[in-house]
Amino acid sequence: MLTRIAIILVLGASLAAMAGPKVAPDQGAGPEARIAGPEGRIAGPEGRIRVTDGDTFVVGGERVRLHGIDAPEQSQLCNRDTDAAWRCGAWVTQEVRSQFEGAQARCETQDIDRYGRIVARCEVAGRDVGQSLVTQGLAFAYARYSELYVADEQAAKRAGRGLHVHQVEAPGAFRAARRASAATAASAATAASATSAASATRASGGTRALPGIACPIKGNISRSGERIFHVPGQRHYEDTVISRHKGEQLFCSENEAQAAGWRKAKR
């Protein structure tokens, strides 16, 4: 009986050795190496910091957007108590650069933003960079995405540090206003271009089909008197000008043009 028990124990030990050591669920092989620790956070870039602006770095060659904070844009202006505008965005970038440019950073990836940047928490010599910037009043807590530094921002406000001494528009609101202004300018430029093109063709006695027109097919009469129609995308479509006094016209469909005696251009 004892001999049988001994044999069973030996077999069990052999099977355990063949199975190998147990691996924790977050330590398996894969493209996302994980930082050791119970939280299992994803390791991010490591390396020297190159400051882009108040909340964006290049770390180890990777573009990094600091998690949980939002700093004024480079071109953003703020108002002092005297109502004099000053380049607060450029000032913040300069301050951040003076503290962290060239420093060795270790980051933990939190997400990837719509611009392809790594969103990460970064440390320099054990110091949380995002928390440091918010505490100094160089950036705001980005509560829309994280409440991690909200208490630090409130403390900075009470102490009147950095930007909190001045009248500062929230960076997100500044960016939204800038996008709206750019969209309005683009729309105005498009309208002006269309008006200019229409005026030019009227002055030349012809008609050019503009994008969005209901009947864009151009029925042109060649020098030999042949009636040829051009559809959008064909080689000579853009250069073809319709002169109605010559009998040229626009058609809404190829069938309509063919029924009227026009043939389709070969190219």
- 12-56 pLDDT, tens per residue? 444 444 444 333 333 232 222 333 333 445 789 999 999 999 999
The pLDDT of residue 84: 77
Look at residue 191 in the predicted model and tell me its pLDDT: 62
Position 225 scores a pLDDT of 86
Q: Is residue 172 predicted with pLDDT exceeding 50?
A: yes
Q: Does residue 249 contact residue 256 with C-beta atoms inside 8 Å?
A: no
Residue 141 CA to residue 224 CA, distance in Å, equals 73
Task: With a cut of 70, say whether residue 108 has pLDDT above it.
Answer: yes
Q: C-alpha 46: how far from its chain's center?
A: 23
pLDDT-derived band of residue 192, with 50, 70 and 90 as boundaries?
low
Write down the pLDDT at residue 49.
98
pLDDT of residue 9: 44
Q: H helices then E strands: how many in the chain? A: 6, 14
Question: Residue 18: what pLDDT?
Answer: 42
- Give the pLDDT confidence score for residue 141 in this predicted structure: 97
Mean pLDDT computed over 247-265 = 88
Q: Using the 8-state DSSP alphabet, how is residue 71 labeled?
A: -
Highest mean pLDDT of the ranges 42-51, 82-91, 240-249: 42-51
Mean pLDDT of 167-189: 83
Mean per-residue pLDDT over the chain, rounded: 80
Enumerate the domain spans of the chain.
Answer: 39-173, 200-264
Residue 79 has pLDDT above 80, yes or no: yes
The whole-number average pLDDT for the span 134-139 is 98
Res 260: pLDDT:
86
187, containing H or E segment: helix 171-203
- Domain 39-173, CATH among 2.40.50.140, 3.30.70.420, 2.40.50.90, 3.40.50.2300: 2.40.50.90
Q: Mean pLDDT over residues 184-189, rounded?
A: 71
Q: What does the pLDDT look like over 204-234, one tens digit per residue? A: 545 454 455 568 899 989 888 899 999 998 9
C-alpha dist (Å) from residue 201 to 73, 77, 97: 44, 44, 55
Q: Is the pLDDT of residue 78 over 50?
A: yes
Nearest Cα to 174, choosing from 89, 114, 113, 112?
89
pLDDT at res. 158: 96
Q: Is the pLDDT of residue 115 over 50?
A: yes
pLDDT at 189: 66
Find out whether 48 and 103 touch, Cβ atoms under 8 Å. yes
